[in-house]
Amino acid sequence: MKLWKSFLTGAAVAVALAAAPLAASAQDTTRIALVVKGLGIGFFEAANKGAQEAAKELGDVEVIYTGPTDTTAEGQIEVINALIAQRVDAIAISANDQDALVPALKKAMQRGITVISWDSGVAPEGRQMQLNPSSTPLIGNMILKLAADHLPEGGDVAVLSASATATNQNAWIAAMKEVLPDHPGINLVATVYGDDLSDKSYRETQGLMQSHPDLKAIIAPTSVGIVAAAQAVSDAGKTGEINVTGLGLPSEMAGHVASGASKSFAIWNPIDLGYSATMIAYNLAKGNATAEPGAEIGMGRMGSVTLDENNEGAMAEPFVYDDSNIEEFKSIF
């Protein structure tokens, strides 16, 4: 009996010793869950590429890329509960519903898990901070700059927006107008609304070209409008005369960049977004920063983000796409 007991004790010690390096290794690794709206979406696959880049740079990080198979709040709640059970160190989520996820994420924070939202935000009580891809002033400045950079001698420009009541569009246009004095010679001659409908946006572009024969650029801060405007300019045989720019998706704008209807356009870079979210989650989880108004949190090669009174911050100005990089991104999103 004593020999058997001694054998069991020795075996238990051996198992414990063998497991010790594994436990220590796991404890030394910061596990960050990058939770996306849905799996199989190019934009989020690109964000994961950036997250993995951050993990490699940090060295002691494991990124768990996950999300539901359908873009629902219910699917994300199941994912969150599974991550709580796994006792991950941080959750960085792009939310399908800003309110429905709050109870599950509050539970995660109560268990000591760092929670941030990025891209699509969570209500303040369900996260420690929100990383917005950009900000209204940065977007306003960029959409005007995209037109002005190709008009060194100035010229007439027009705006093709979504609906007249679109809060974000109106804010971006107002911010653009604020920086108009910084671009002497650029004349804003009209603002029209396509209601984010392709056919109406196309017709509104036709109307702009007829009403303003000296038009040099159309700024469309909407992914629907910019494609419709570029097509209308091409169909009118005005490629090279009128530059269509604004906010769009590389997959939808690649042909118009190739044709010359659009010299360049912008949207946030998902690779940078995933990278930044991972860096922020790491710094908060490790205690290198605290999410509070006025705080600056490091984002590695992307610099730092400063939080406002709602614990929200902007990553950077929109990323510019043109003929030098459109081929790389058109298959991503």
Q: What is the mean pLDDT of residues 28-56?
A: 95
pTM: 0.82
User: CA nearest 219: which of 270, 156, 168?
Assistant: 156
3 has a pLDDT exceeding 90: no
Place of tokens 């960049």: 257
Confidence class for position 1, pLDDT limits 50, 70, 90: very low
Cβ–Cβ under 8 Å, residues 226 and 245: yes
* Residues 129-188 pLDDT 10s: 999 999 999 999 999 999 999 999 999 999 999 989 888 899 999 999 999 999 999 999
DSSP letters for 297-329: EE-GGG-EEE--TTSEEE--SPEEEETTTHHHH
- Give me the pLDDT at residue 27, please: 55
Cβ–Cβ under 8 Å, residues 251 and 301: no
User: What sign for the dihedral angle of Cα 195, 196, 200, 201?
Assistant: positive
In angstroms, the CA 169 to CA 232 distance is 21
Q: In total, how many domains does the chain have?
A: 2
The enclosing domain of 48 has a CATH number of 3.40.50.2300
Which of 208, 242, 267 lies at the terminal end of a domain, its last residue?
A: 267
Looking at the structure, tell me whether residues 162 and 96 fall in a common domain: no
| Residue 282 belongs to a domain | yes
Cβ–Cβ under 8 Å, residues 37 and 96: yes
Residue type, position 170, single letter: N
| Residue 111 belongs to a domain | yes
Query: Average pLDDT over the chain, rounded to whole?
Result: 92
23 has a pLDDT exceeding 90: no
Q: What is the mean pLDDT of residues 56-62?
A: 97
Tokens found for residue 57: 């740079």
| Residue 259 belongs to a domain | yes
Looking at the structure, tell me whether residues 91 and 236 fall in a common domain: no
| Residue 297 belongs to a domain | yes
Domain hosting 167: range is: 136-267
